[in-house]
Structure 1
């Protein structure tokens, strides 16, 4: 592997000059800089990242903590974060952990021991008071799309989940639907700890519409859960004409249940999801959903984390607005659908 000394010999300059060129520091003429970079490329020079991290006192690595990677939403997040981090000269370690996941907490602890420079933590992970027993006190953390219990620090980049629920309800109401089903994550105590559900339910209530408790089914944020919930909703004696699933994979599960039961979407049932995963555009029919602009959210999250790592002032918490993508899975309610 070529060293700066090899480059210096080939370019006819000192190793110090090569170091200045490669680090972007010092005063070096344009001609010399061009010659050094030419030989660095020809010799296949690769910087020693370990040595660089020792000099800077940083590893150049950030951590990304997610509740799971089974949901395509988080796969898309990983891809976006990796590329944004790479542009910033960083690499990413990924770990998954849920609220009661002891092994996941140990994995996070191991990640922190590898001296990451900062951490991006997503909603669905353990609350702050748990994570703060694992991470070092001075480790910069940015909380992303936080919807769970517990207060987060001022370093957060959020999405207006409540508004997302509102938009879903308003869309379905505007189509004439009045009997609704919901597929959501349900906590062990029977509660639904999600702003997206609150926004949906309270918007319906403002229009004089209540949800039959029997038409609120757990989906546990996975497609199979959405499918099971969809079967229960659609075989109810008085089934809903529209379903709001609080994420896209559960909505896709509901659509699969409808197909198995011989129901046509949107003729017999309108379905709305939330996330706008790439797959939502390719279901049959394409899924109407609430859009989370993942690229914009993660770009701001990484910028905020970098500012915190550098000790710079950070912007106040940001709240990204929800938007609705109307596709083929929703339609006007008609009596013929019953």
Structure 2
């Protein structure tokens, strides 16, 4: 039977040296002639040998790998990962992505369970994307993207969620909307979820618009959760004329539900999202949204991990980046009231 995996013994045999010498050559140890190093590296290239990260970490107490732990690979996390990859491009480090896809029952605190499996054997440091842990085990340098309430001790990178929510809500108020729904996102443990709702409420208060709790719904994590929450808002007897959705995925789902109910966007309903993922510009109508610099957040988080690994003290352990409003086609002034509106009819039949 053919051997599946090339080993260090195969490399040594091809180069005509001992296993110990081949190992020294691969790990840049002192005392190996340059010609021998060349032969060993040629053998590695010819045979396609790759050393085990675990074995290497046991020898030198370092893997040269930064881990990025994400719950799922979605539009948000994909953008963060692009920035994380850019941060290691000109370094000696590589990136390992660990996604806990499918563990819906274990969502809360999953990082606390799985980080110890990677730390010290596969990764030197980690970036946690939307973490639910307040502290992390061991001495592995960890930086969070979008930190948890109560987790102030963990170095983190986030965006100005409160200011971004105010930008979104002020935009809708400026267009003339007064019944503005808010489609939030659990879990309440995430600081960003609360900050966006607080920004929404603050804008209403500043405009003298009374807060209506019936206009606030929390979506879940799956596509049907977003749709169900949007439908609950749009089927109210006195439905909102605009909805601020706390992320682009739920905003796009809101537009889809509105269309199935026979509502025109933005004539009958204005929709604003949050994130500015690439999909927001591709949907129809293109989505008005609040941009948070997701790629930059991922880049800065990895840079902070690298600084910690180098033994540096972080000048700013909680980095907050600005947000900005991107106006596209999903928002407009509310439609003038009609006799049907006065009678409680808010949607035309779906075609």
DSSP 3-state at the match of 1:258: helix
Aligned counterparts of 1:104 and 1:198: Cα–Cα separation in 2:
23
From 110, 128, 132, the counterpart of 1:125: 132
Structure 1: distance between partners of 2:277 and 2:23: 46
Is residue 84–residue 299 contact of structure 1 (8 Å, CA) maintained in 2?
A: yes
CA RMSD, Structure 1 to Structure 2 (Å)? 3.9
Cα–Cα, structure 1 residues 101 and 5, in superposed 2: closer, same or farther, change >3 Å?
same
Q: 1:205 matched to which residue of 2?
A: 205
Assess, with a 3 A threshold, how the Cα gap between structure 1 residues 30 and 179 changes in structure 2: closer, same or farther. farther
Provide the residue aligned with 2:296 in structure 1: 296
The answer to which structure, 1 or 2, has the higher relative contact order (CA under 8 A, 6+ apart) is 2
TM-score (normalizing by structure 2):
0.75
Give 1:93's match in structure 2, choosing from 63, 84, 98. Answer: 98
1:121 to partner: Cα distance: 2.3
1:325 aligned residue: 326
Matches within 5 A, 1:1-338: 1=6, 5=12, 41-42=45-46, 44-66=48-70, 68-69=71-72, 71-78=74-81, 81=84, 88-95=93-100, 105=109, 108-116=112-120, 117-123=124-130, 125-126=132-133, 128=134, 131-132=135-136, 135-136=137-138, 138-146=139-147, 148-153=148-153, 155-185=155-185, 194-316=194-316, 317-335=318-336
Structure 1 segments unaligned to the other structure (5+ residues): none
| Pairwise CA distance, 1:244 | 0.2
Query: Could you tell me how far apart the structure 1 residues matched to 2:94 and 2:86 are?
Result: 10
Which moves more between the two structures, 106-115 or 48-57? 106-115
CA–CA distance in 1 between the matches of 2:185 and 2:107?
A: 22
Q: Answer whether contact 1:7 1:18 (CA < 8 A) is retained.
A: no
Equivalents in 2 of 1:262, 1:162: separation in Å?
A: 33
Asked if structure 2 preserves the Cα contact closer than 8 Å seen for 1:160 and 1:320, the reply is yes
In 2 relative to 1, CA 110–200 (structure 1 residues): closer, same or farther, beyond 3 Å? closer
Q: What count of residue pairs does the alignment treat as equivalent?
A: 324
Normalised by the length of structure 1, the TM-score is 0.78
8 Å CA contact retained: 1:65, 1:96: no
Distance 2:221 2:250 in 1: 6
Report if aligned partners of 1:97, 1:125 keep a CA contact under 8 Å in 2.
no
3-state SS of paired residue (2:229): helix
Paired with 2:159 and 2:256, the residues of 1 have a C-alpha distance of 28
Per-residue deviation, 1:181: 0.9
Instruction: Give the direction of change, closer, same or farther, for the CA distance of 1:73–1:311 in structure 2 (3 Å limit).
Output: same
CA distance in 1, matches of 2:248, 2:181: 15
**1:288-334: CA deviation from partner (whole Å, max 9, x where unpaired):** 11112221111111111122123222231211111222221112334
* 1:124 shift after superposition: 5.2
Structure 2: distance between partners of 1:57 and 1:169: 50
